Amino acid sequence: MAVEPAAATEPAGTHRPAPGARPQPGREAPPMDLAALITDPGSRIIVCCGAGGVGKTTTSAALGLAAAEAGRRVVVLTIDPARRLAQSLGLEELDNEPRRIDVPGAAGELHAMMLDMKRTFDDIVVAHSTPERAQQILDNPFYQSLSSSFAGTQEYMAMEKLGQLRAADTWDLIVVDTPPSRSALDFLDAPNRMSRFLDGTMIRLLTAPSRAGLKFVSAGFLVFSRIISKVLGGQLLRDISAFVSALDTMFGGFRERANATYELLHRPGTSFVVVATPEPDALREASFFVDRLSTEGLPLAGLVLNRTHPPATTVLSATRAEGAAEEVVEAGGEGAELAAAALRVHAERMTLAAREQHLADRFTSAHPDVAVRTVHAAAGDVHDLEGLREMAGELTGPDDTPTGIPRTRVLPVRRR
C-alpha cells in the first residue's frame, strides 16, 4: 500500500515497549513486531480475532508455524467450528486434543486442535465429580441440550480449554483462533453469563423444591410452579431441577477456573491481534474489536491488515498510466495492445491501492495508537505448510517491500 515511510532512525536510548504491550494514550504506537512477539519467551498466549473471511485462521496457523520453526512448542486452538485450520495444515480434520503437525526441519513443535464444546464439558463433569454424580449429569436430558447447543456454552468451554492448556504448562505459546463474528470475544463474558444463568431468579425458583424441600415452599410458589410446568412441561422442569442440583457442588470450580483464565488474559504474556481486510465492513468490525479490547483493558498488539494490493511501483500514477495507455494505442505498432493492457492493469492496481489506503487512514484516524502490519494478498487460498510459510514471511519478515514501503508501521493521522 502507498504510505509514507517511517523514520529510519530513532534517538539513542529510545524506550521500546515489550512485544504486544499497549501504547500509552497520547503517544505514537510502536510498529507491531510479530517476529518478536512469537519468539519472546515471555509471550505465552496470542488471541487472533476479527470478522469472518478475513484470513484470521490462516494468520493464526502462520504465526504458530513461524513460532515452531523458531524453536517454540506451540499449540493452535481454533474455536471456529469450520474446518479451515485443519485444511490449512493439510489435515482431514482436527479434534479436541492437540495433534502434532509434521514440520520438517522445525526447531520446535507445532500442534493444533479444534474445540469440541460437548466433549470438553463432558470431560469437566467426569474430572470434577464422583462417577455416580457424573453419570447422573451426563444422562440428564437438560444437560445434553445445554452442552450441545445452549447459547454461550461454546464460549464458556473455550475459556475452560484455554485454561487447561495454560495450566498444563506444556506449551511455550498458545495461539487462539476465535469464531468469525462479534461473538468472538463473548468467551470473555462466559464466567458471568453462566453464573447469571445458574444463579438467576428463574432457575432458583424452578429448583426451589429440590433445594429446600416441598414443606418450605409457599402456596404462591406452588401456583407459579404449576403454571411453569404447563408452559415448559413437567418433565423438563424436573430435568432442570435435577441438573442444577447435581451441578451445584461443582459449578463453583467452573466459575473459579474461568475467572482465573479471564484474569490470565490481562497479564503480561498475553496479546490480542485483530485481523481485517481493507474493506469497509471488515475494518468496521476491527474497530469494534479494538474498542472492546480497550474497554476490557486487554493487551492489544495491533491490527493485521490482510490481503492488501500494493502496486509494483508508485512512480507512475493511475491517471498517467491511463493516459499512457491511450497514447500507446493511438501510436499503434507491434505490441501496442499488450503494452496498453499492462498500463491499464497498473492503473487499476494504483486505484485499488489508493482506496485501500483511504480505508486504512480512516481506521487509523479513529485509532491512532493501534499499530498496523500489512500483508499482501496471496495468489490463491492457503491450504498447505508451504502456503502458511509464505504467509508467515509476510507477517514476520523484513518491513520493506519491493517499492520501499514498510509493511509494519503506524499509519499517518490526517490532521484537520
Q: What is the pLDDT of residues 269-320, one digit of tens each?
A: 999 999 999 999 999 999 999 998 998 899 999 999 999 988 877 778 888 8
Residue 409 has pLDDT above 90, yes or no: no
Separation between Cα atoms, residue 186 and residue 321, nearest integer Å:
48
CA-to-CA dists, residue 19 to 30, 231, 302, 386, angstroms: 9, 55, 10, 26
pLDDT digits over 318-366, tens only?
Answer: 888 888 888 888 888 878 889 888 888 888 888 888 899 899 989 999 9
Give residue 322's pLDDT. Answer: 84
User: pLDDT tens, 88-103?
Assistant: 777 777 888 999 999 9
Percent of the chain past pLDDT 90, that is, above it, reads 28
Q: Whole-prediction pTM value?
A: 0.78
Going by their DSSP bridges, the two strands 300-308 and 270-276 should be labelled as parallel
| Cα atoms in the Cβ-side hemisphere of radius 13 Å centred on 45 | 28
**Structure confidence at residue 29 as a pLDDT band (50, 70, 90):** very low
Residue 7 has pLDDT above 80, yes or no: no
Residue 412 binned pLDDT confidence (cut-offs 50, 70, 90):
very low
Q: Which residue has the cell 406452588?
A: 222
Q: Is the pLDDT of residue 38 over 50?
A: yes
* Alpha carbon 394 to chain centroid, angstroms: 18
Query: Would you state the pLDDT for residue 410?
Result: 42
67-74 average pLDDT score: 97
Cell of 371: 499499530
- Single-letter residue type at 70: A
Nearest Cα residue to 70 out of 41, 92, 91, 97: 41
User: To which residue does cell 502490519 refer?
Assistant: 373
Residue 247: pLDDT band by 50, 70, 90 thresholds? low
- DSSP conformation class of 406: B
pLDDT of 137: 80
CATH 3.10.590.10 fits 34-191+254-315+368-407, yes or no: no
- Residue matched to cell numbers 511501483: 313
Residue ranges of alpha helices (H) inside 265-397 are 280-296, 318-331, 336-366, 385-396
Least confident range of 21-35, 109-123, 142-156:
21-35
Say how far apart CA 34 and CA 40 lie, in whole Å.
10
pLDDT of residue 237: 59
- Alpha-carbon torsion 112, 118, 122, 127, what sign? positive
For the beta sheet containing 109-114, the strands, ordered from the edge strand earlier in sequence to the opposite edge, are 99-101, 109-114, 73-78, 173-177, 45-50, 270-276, 300-308, 372-376, 408-409
> Which of 310, 241, 299 has the alpha carbon at shortest distance from 270?
299
State the pLDDT confidence band at 389, using cuts at 50, 70 and 90: very high
Which of 52-56, 67-71, 132-136, 249-253 bottoms out in mean pLDDT, i.e. has the lowest? 249-253
Q: Which residues contact 71 (CB under 8 A, 6 or more apart)?
A: 39, 107, 108
Q: Residue 34's pLDDT is what? A: 95
Query: How far is residue 119's CA from residue 240's CA, in Å, rounded to a whole number?
Result: 20
Q: Is the pLDDT higher at 126 or at 3? A: 126
